């Protein structure tokens, strides 16, 4: 009899459990969703996933629900649809009276100020065969469109503006939420040992959740096996060297490698910030096959994304390349946290001022922006104000501001680049992006561990990148990126001087051909940098030096081989093979047409200006020259031709021959001196493409009986000794300096 009662109890408890995940139609709305009403979206929910495995085992079903909760946490911004937050909880079986919202923020609070964050707590009791357990949900909102919390995001250091083990802006928020969690547990008489915890958030909310979970793991009341922590687009939070130890394996950080936010604060050189727990990276164009991404991954994900934002998803398609370059750029300018807080050039103050301009803080902020009264799921959404007539709306659309017209012009000039970039920078970080990926694919498809590598080429060179089929996907001229030739999946950037960074996915093979049409070998350095799937810097190889010239070019393998390489695979090529590669890559730029202006000054005080028209090999010269102290006496027109040869590196040699036609104004009468043959030999230094600084020697030829007056009248003075070529010809030299651009 006793056994029968026990068996019946177990049977009833078992039957009360869902036998499989139930698809529930949740109302999805968040920071960027564009529908007038929340978007009904079916998502599986199975509460028995809690406890089925310890939290150190990734659970995609729970991660999806966590991402949904992070999405609706933003709904305080759209007050009319705040009911969808409560509806989401109740559809999961939570009672309304067990939901607690902390959205009544006052940023003028003397203790916490901007270091606050909206969050919600909820609970649900569930019956298991071995007893009752309580699921406690803690959802932390990301940064809203307010300057206050954005400023807190950039508050990295302590009161002395020094780097600290924990990000101070996130830490202060996590302390407040931890206290609220303890109060909630006491209020509802929940024993941590008899509860499962789901802690989640996106962006700022993710960072706070990450820190909070790490701190709770040190509290013996909490069993980390029962703490299910899933964060999305998590910024770095700590310099703790043990952040990736097994004690934090219950924390799962899900990131999009194209997203900049998970890479800040920085993790490179003296910046050593990272996250607690483990990181999983969503698939992108660089860590899965490009064809599969285009034909399988993108279409499936985009179905969800289009339903959320009413437009197509816009990825950069270059993996973690942009976040990596942002990190490299910032580290060069702000090598330490102290410099980041600098008074004059510091980034912290500039960023704070920028967000204050973008989102001004009203005197009433904290009251008007707070949402103390929650909308019940039974209540109807608030009525909207009537929309203006269609004619009025169309009239407004026709009128564009000056800024909008400038953007339209730039879009037309760049083929829509401005619109693309604005959408891509939103999409890389939007929680709707993360939710779409999570819903579209299962765990075995949505993540990738494949990293990437970059090739740093520094010096004076021409280069082309060939794919495995021999197609040119990128070109470089005079150490300068020809951006119009860059084709995904290749990416490239030039942050300083003659240093070019070429980014490769690690699942495709490429060949980089480097050459220089110089007489003397030009030194170029090649170096590999390697990154994990999330774009975290792993290390770099030693620099390798090559010396290319007219007879020799180099092939460097890129892509797959770089990820595990300790040195670049470099092959020297010459003869017909070199000629063939140079031709295929269109790397012989000596015959490219250009117009190059010039300004110069001679040692005898004469100024000149004009242009060179043609190619590097052969160009025509047209200059006007005069002495400012004698400009009423003469005018000199110069016409001729020349050639420019690359000696080595940035050093160029010009040889030019021309005629100087000189008009001498004597007592109001124009007198034409037939001509003065001239030769100019100059060395030019090209620190950047086109721009040249040159110094040269000009030889004006005096021929007896033909151009005596040009020399006798002091138009061309003999400051330096003449060079004689017989009885009737001598060369009068002078030194000339100038710039070409």
Mean pLDDT score, 696-701: 93
| Separation of alpha carbons 327 and 252, rounded Å | 23
Positions of E strands within 67-211? 100-102, 119-128, 131-140, 195-202
- The pLDDT, as a whole number, for residue 391 is 52
Helices marked H in 441-481: 443-446
Q: Which residues sit opposite 621 in a β-bridge?
A: 612, 640
Hey, what are 298's tokens?
């993108």
DSSP H or E segment with residue 427:
helix 417-427
The string of DSSP codes covering 643-695 is EEEEEETTEEEEEEEEEEEEEEEETTEEEEEEEEEEEEEEEEE-SSSS-EEEE
- The pLDDT, as a whole number, for residue 592 is 85
Q: Does residue 450 have a pLDDT over 80? A: yes
CB 699 within 8 A of CB 723: yes
CB 607 within 8 A of CB 600: yes
Rg (CA), the chain: 35
- The pLDDT, as a whole number, for residue 23 is 92
- The pLDDT, as a whole number, for residue 7 is 39
CB 650 within 8 A of CB 663: no
Q: How many CB atoms lie within 10 A of CB 23?
A: 11
| Sign of CA pseudo-dihedral 582, 588, 592, 596 | positive
Q: Does residue 432 have a pLDDT over 70? A: yes
Q: Does residue 669 have a pLDDT over 60? A: no
CB 707 within 8 A of CB 625: no
Mean pLDDT score, 674-681: 89
Of 249, 209, 250, 216, give the one whose Cα is nearest residue 233: 209
Q: Does residue 508 have a pLDDT over 80? A: yes
Hey, what are 619's tokens?
């160009």
Of 696, 682, 692, 515, give the one whose Cα is nearest residue 590: 515
| Separation of alpha carbons 553 and 574, rounded Å | 6
CA 632 distance to own-chain centroid: 57
CB 149 within 8 A of CB 207: no
Of 234, 265, 300, give the one whose Cα is nearest residue 67: 234
- The pLDDT, as a whole number, for residue 535 is 96
Q: How far apart are the first and last CA of the chain?
A: 100
| Separation of alpha carbons 219 and 178, rounded Å | 11
- The pLDDT, as a whole number, for residue 381 is 46
pLDDT band per the 50, 70, 90 thresholds, residue 9: very low
User: What is the value of pTM for the model shown?
Assistant: 0.83
Hey, what are 218's tokens?
């040190």
- The pLDDT, as a whole number, for residue 160 is 57
| Separation of alpha carbons 81 and 377, rounded Å | 10
CB 408 within 8 A of CB 416: no
- The pLDDT, as a whole number, for residue 220 is 93
- Please report, for the chain, how many H helices and E strands are present, in that order: 18, 32
Contacts 24+ apart (CB under 8 A), 624-627: 625/660, 627/715
- The pLDDT, as a whole number, for residue 720 is 76
DSSP H or E segment with residue 333:
helix 321-333
- The pLDDT, as a whole number, for residue 393 is 47
- The pLDDT, as a whole number, for residue 22 is 83
| Separation of alpha carbons 533 and 146, rounded Å | 32
Proportion of the chain above pLDDT 70, given as a percent: 85
Per residue in 368-377, pLDDT tens?
Answer: 343 333 434 4
DSSP H or E segment with residue 640:
strand 634-648
CB 504 within 8 A of CB 490: yes
Of 563, 517, 575, 521, give the one whose Cα is nearest residue 546: 521
DSSP H or E segment with residue 392:
helix 390-398
| Mean pLDDT score of the chain | 86
| Separation of alpha carbons 93 and 26, rounded Å | 12
Per residue in 112-159, pLDDT tens?
Answer: 888 999 999 999 999 877 789 999 999 999 998 778 888 899 888 765
DSSP state of 344: S
- The pLDDT, as a whole number, for residue 377 is 44
The b-or-e profile of 686-704 (16+ CB within 10 A means b, else e) is: beeeeebebebebbbbbbe
Mean pLDDT score, 374-383: 43
| Separation of alpha carbons 342 and 71, rounded Å | 36
The mean-pLDDT minimum among 96-105, 624-633, 639-648, 670-679 falls in 624-633
| Separation of alpha carbons 63 and 209, rounded Å | 14
- The pLDDT, as a whole number, for residue 356 is 77
Q: Does residue 3 have a pLDDT over 90? A: no
Q: Does residue 504 have a pLDDT over 90? A: yes
Q: Does residue 21 have a pLDDT over 70? A: no
pLDDT band per the 50, 70, 90 thresholds, residue 399: low
Mean pLDDT score, 311-335: 94
Residue with tokens 């816009």: 314
- The pLDDT, as a whole number, for residue 263 is 96
Mean pLDDT score, 394-418: 55
Proportion of the chain above pLDDT 90, given as a percent: 62
Q: Does residue 635 have a pLDDT over 90? A: no
Q: How many CB atoms lie within 10 A of CB 537?
A: 18
Distances from the Cα of 397 to the Cαs of 73, 331, 537, in angstroms? 32, 43, 46
Q: Does residue 10 have a pLDDT over 50? A: no
Q: How many CB atoms lie within 10 A of CB 326?
A: 15
Residue 304, SS3 per DSSP: helix
- The pLDDT, as a whole number, for residue 633 is 66
CB 581 within 8 A of CB 593: no
CB 99 within 8 A of CB 122: yes
What angle, rounded to 10 degrees, do the helices at 431-440 and 298-309 form? 130
| Separation of alpha carbons 461 and 452, rounded Å | 24
| Separation of alpha carbons 136 and 212, rounded Å | 14
The mean-pLDDT minimum among 3-12, 77-86, 467-476, 692-701 falls in 3-12
The mean-pLDDT minimum among 207-216, 330-339, 390-399, 708-717 falls in 390-399
CB 507 within 8 A of CB 533: no
Q: Which residues sit opposite 652 in a β-bridge?
A: 646, 684
Per residue in 645-655, pLDDT tens?
Answer: 999 888 999 99
- The pLDDT, as a whole number, for residue 715 is 72
CA angle 153, 76, 226 (to 5 degrees): 70
């Amino acid at each position: 009899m006793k056994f029968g009662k026990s068996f019946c109890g177990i049977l009833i408890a078992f039957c009360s459990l869902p036998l499989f995940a139930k698809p529930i139609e949740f109302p999805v709305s968040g920071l960027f969703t564009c529908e007038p009403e929340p978007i009904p979206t079916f998502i599986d929910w199975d509460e028995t996933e809690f406890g089925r495995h310890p939290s150190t085992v990734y659970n995609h079903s729970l991660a999806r629900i966590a991402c949904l909760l992070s999405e609706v946490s933003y709904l305080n911004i759209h007050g009319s649809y705040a009911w969808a937050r409560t509806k989401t909880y109740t559809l999961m079986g939570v009672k309304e009276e067990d939901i607690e919202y902390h959205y009544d923020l006052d940023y003028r609070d003397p203790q916490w100020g901007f270091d606050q964050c909206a969050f919600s707590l909820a609970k649900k009791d569930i019956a298991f065969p071995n007893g009752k357990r309580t699921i406690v949900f803690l959802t932390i909102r990301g940064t809203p469109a307010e300057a206050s919390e954005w400023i807190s995001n950039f508050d990295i250091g302590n009161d002395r503006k020094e780097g600290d083990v924990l990000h101070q802006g996130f830490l202060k928020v996590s302390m407040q939420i931890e206290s609220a969690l303890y109060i909630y547990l006491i209020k509802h008489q929940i024993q941590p040992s008899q509860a499962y915890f789901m802690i989640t958030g996106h962006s700022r909310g993710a960072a706070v959740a990450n820190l909070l979970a790490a701190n709770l793991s040190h509290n013996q009341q909490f069993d980390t096996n029962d703490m299910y922590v899933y964060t999305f687009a998590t910024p770095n939070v700590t310099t703790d060297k043990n952040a990736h130890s097994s004690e934090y394996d219950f924390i799962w950080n899900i990131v999009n490698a194209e997203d900049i936010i998970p890479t800040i604060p920085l993790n490179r050189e003296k910046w050593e910030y990272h996250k607690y727990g483990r990181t999983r990276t969503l698939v992108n164009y660089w860590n899965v096959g490009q064809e599969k991404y285009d034909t399988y991954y993108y279409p499936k994900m985009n179905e969800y994304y289009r339903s959320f934002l009413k437009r197509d998803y816009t990825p950069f398609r270059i993996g973690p390349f942009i976040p990596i370059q942002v990190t490299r750029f910032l580290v060069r300018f702000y090598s330490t946290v102290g410099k980041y807080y600098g008074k004059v050039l510091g980034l912290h103050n500039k960023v704070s001022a920028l967000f204050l301009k973008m989102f001004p803080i009203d005197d009433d902020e904290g009251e008007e922006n707070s949402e103390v009264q929650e909308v019940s799921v039974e209540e109807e959404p608030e009525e909207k104000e009537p929309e203006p007539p269609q004619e009025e709306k169309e009239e407004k659309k026709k009128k564009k501001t000056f800024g909008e017209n400038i953007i339209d012009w730039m879009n037309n000039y760049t083929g829509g680049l401005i619109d693309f970039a604005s959408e891509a920078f939103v999409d890389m970080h939007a929680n709707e992006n993360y939710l779409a990926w999570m819903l579209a694919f299962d765990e075995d498809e949505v993540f990738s561990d494949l990293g990437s590598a970059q090739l740093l080429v520094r010096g004076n060179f021409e280069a082309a990148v060939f794919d495995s089929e021999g197609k040119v996907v990128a070109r470089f001229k005079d150490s300068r990126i020809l951006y119009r030739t860059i084709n995904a999946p290749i990416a490239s950037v030039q942050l300083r001087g003659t240093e070019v960074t070429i980014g490769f996915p690690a699942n495709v093979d490429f060949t980089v051909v480097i050459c220089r049409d110089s007489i003397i070998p030009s030194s170029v350095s090649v170096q590999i940098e390697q990154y994990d799937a999330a774009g975290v810097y792993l290390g770099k190889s030693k620099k390798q030096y090559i010396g290319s010239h007219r007879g020799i070019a180099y092939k460097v393998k890129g892509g797959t081989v770089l990820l595990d390489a300790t040195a670049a695979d470099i092959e020297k090529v010459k003869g017909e093979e070199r000629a063939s590669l140079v031709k295929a890559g269109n790397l012989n730029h000596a015959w490219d047409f250009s117009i190059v202006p010039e300004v110069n000054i001679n040692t005898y005080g004469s100024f000149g200006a004009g242009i060179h028209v043609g190619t590097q090999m052969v160009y025509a010269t047209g200059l006007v020259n005069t002495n400012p102290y004698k400009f009423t006496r003469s005018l000199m027109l110069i016409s001729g031709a020349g050639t420019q040869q690359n000696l080595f590196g940035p050093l160029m040699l010009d040889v030019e021959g021309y005629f100087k036609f000189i008009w001498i104004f004597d007592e109001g009468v124009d007198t034409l001196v037939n001509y003065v043959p001239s030769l100019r030999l100059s060395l030019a230094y090209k620190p950047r493409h086109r721009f040249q600084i040159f110094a040269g020697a000009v030889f004006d030829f005096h021929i007896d009986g033909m151009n005596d007056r040009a020399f006798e009248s002091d138009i061309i003075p003999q400051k330096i000794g003449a060079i004689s070529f017989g009885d009737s010809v001598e060369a009068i030299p002078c030194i000339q300096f100038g710039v070409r651009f």
